[in-house]
Amino acid sequence: MDAPLTLRDIARQAGVSLATVDRVLHNRPGVRPDTVRRVKDAMTRSAFQPHAAASELARARARRFAFVMPSGANPFMQQIQVQLGEMASWMAARRLSVDVVTTDVFDPAVLAGKLEDLVGRVDGAAVVALDHPSVRAAINDLVESGAKVVTLVSDVPSSRRHHYVGIDNIAAGRTAGALVGRFAGGRTGRIAIMAGSQALRDHAERIFGFSQVMAGEFRQLEVLAVAEGHDEDDRSEHLMRQLLAAHRDIIGLYNVGAGTAGVAKALTESGRAGDVAFVGHDVTAVTRKLLLNGVMDAAISQNPGHEARSAVRVLLALARGEPILSEQEMIRIDIVMRDNLP
């Protein structure tokens, strides 16, 4: 079977440049009538498909994307960055370059400033975003500048972002609630929640889903006020020690984000690890060890490689004006325990 004609074939047949063919395809001014006729005649003779030409022209452009990621030692976010590095050859073949920009995503002014710095410098950005008015405004400004924006892991749906890449965080929280409630084994007591920040929408939605299940299905369990450790090990450890000292009847623990090593250290050194049902997020070197030694009972997992690849694919599709394959880009929620560790 003959290969389909390309944009370059039409340009060659009509004796014009690639840019001239593009102007004719999109009815742009500045092309002489005789040239327009020659290009259209070449298309007609060849049964040329304009949508294929537009796709080819889009593919020919070099593009620059930015990934705005949390600074600090968040193992899951570091895994996403590693996966981006492993895509280097794939991206080079498509004339893509990706810059990873780290910042304090818990500070709205700092995060908004970092997004504003990208205006006019990138074709697209994936951002782990705080749901805050200044961050929403910065996302909107970036979109207004012509950049494609996807939110990654944590969404800002009221902004003009084009797409969200991540799990259903309410469902993830509900899953965690069902696990903690069942692991508690019918006992009566208190449940502690450690989060990075409730201003991060993924954390807020997980807490909402968790609380729904607790209130509806495990009314014998009292959920304590959320402690915010900003995904930092030291801060999370300190807060967890305070909670364990203040409430001797804690029998369940949900760690919503990172800071897992600090939470686990406080729990282990209290001598109560065997009595507290502990559910957290993501399979990392830290959570793998905690699952194996029985300190953590389960991890709600999402695939960092899938998220990295999906964010790049979605940005590229948006930049090219191509459809997004929703089934391919759907991020699954997995429940990982010691017995099914990947």
Q: What is the pLDDT, as a whole number, of residue 290?
A: 98
User: Which pair of tokens denotes residue 341?
Assistant: 């560790």
Quick one: pLDDT band at residue 26, thresholds 50, 70, 90?
Answer: confident
Residue 12 has pLDDT above 90, yes or no: no
User: Which pair of tokens denotes residue 66?
Assistant: 């930015």
Reduced to 3 states (helix: H, G, I; strand: E, B; else coil), residue 98 is: strand
Q: What is the mean pLDDT of residues 212-237?
A: 97
Residues 157 and 165: their CA atoms lie apart, in Å, by 12
Q: What is the pLDDT, as a whole number, of residue 59?
A: 57
Residue 158 has pLDDT above 60, yes or no: yes
For the chain, percent helix, then strand, then coil, each to nearest 5? 50, 20, 35
Tell me which of 18-27, 167-176, 309-318 is least confident: 18-27
Task: Could you please state the CATH topology (level 3) that the domain comprising 169-301 is classified under.
Answer: Rossmann fold (3.40.50)
Give pLDDT tens digits for 92-107: 888 899 999 999 999 9
Q: What is the pLDDT, as a whole number, of residue 51?
A: 59
For the chain, where do the domains classified as CATH 3.40.50.2300 start and end?
Answer: 64-166+304-331, 169-301
Which residues contact residue 180 at a Cβ distance below 8 angstroms, ignoring those fewer than 6 apart?
191, 210, 214, 252, 253, 254, 277, 279
Q: What is the pLDDT, as a whole number, of residue 30?
A: 79
Which residues contact residue 40 at a Cβ distance below 8 angstroms, ignoring those fewer than 6 apart?
24
Quick one: pLDDT band at residue 124, thresholds 50, 70, 90?
Answer: very high
Render 126-160 in DSSP notation, one character per residue: EE--B--HHHHHHHHHHHHTT-EEEEESS--TTS-
Give pLDDT tens digits for 40-95: 888 888 777 665 555 555 555 789 999 999 998 889 999 999 999 999 988 988 88
Residues 100 and 155: their CA atoms lie apart, in Å, by 18
For the chain, where do the domains classified as CATH 1.10.260.40 start and end?
Answer: 7-59
Query: Chain-wide mean pLDDT for the chain?
Result: 92
Residues 165 and 243: their CA atoms lie apart, in Å, by 34
Residues 122 and 145: their CA atoms lie apart, in Å, by 10
Reduced to 3 states (helix: H, G, I; strand: E, B; else coil), residue 86 is: helix
- 204 neighbors 131 (Cβ within 8 angstroms): yes
Q: What is the pLDDT, as a whole number, of residue 60?
A: 59
Q: What is the rounded (10 degree) CA torsion for 163, 166, 171, 172? A: -160
Which CATH code of 1.10.10.10, 1.10.260.40, 3.30.300.30, 3.40.1080.10 fits the domain covering 7-59? 1.10.260.40
- 124 neighbors 96 (Cβ within 8 angstroms): no
Amino acid, single-letter form, for residue 254: Y
User: Which pair of tokens denotes residue 10?
Assistant: 């039409």
Residues 59 and 19: their CA atoms lie apart, in Å, by 14
Q: Up-side HSE of residue 233: CA atoms within 13 Å toward CB?
A: 10
Q: What is the mean pLDDT of residues 184-194?
A: 96
Reduced to 3 states (helix: H, G, I; strand: E, B; else coil), residue 250 is: strand
Residues 248 and 270: their CA atoms lie apart, in Å, by 10
Q: What is the pLDDT, as a whole number, of residue 228?
A: 97
User: Which pair of tokens denotes residue 201?
Assistant: 């929408």
- Report the share of the chain in percent with pLDDT over 90: 77
User: Which pair of tokens denotes residue 112?
Assistant: 């908004």
- 213 neighbors 174 (Cβ within 8 angstroms): yes
Residue 1 has pLDDT above 50, yes or no: no
Distance spanning both ends of the chain, measured CA to CA: 44
Q: Report how far Cα 13 is from the mean position of its chain's Cα atoms.
A: 45
- Report the share of the chain in percent with pLDDT over 70: 95
Q: Is the dihedral of CA 132, 279, 342, 328 positive or negative?
A: negative
Give pLDDT tens digits for 245-286: 999 999 999 999 999 999 999 999 999 999 999 999 999 999
CATH number of 64-166+304-331: 3.40.50.2300
Closest CA to 246 of 262, 227, 265, 274: 227
Q: What is the pLDDT, as a whole number, of residue 72?
A: 84
Q: What is the pLDDT, as a whole number, of residue 50?
A: 63
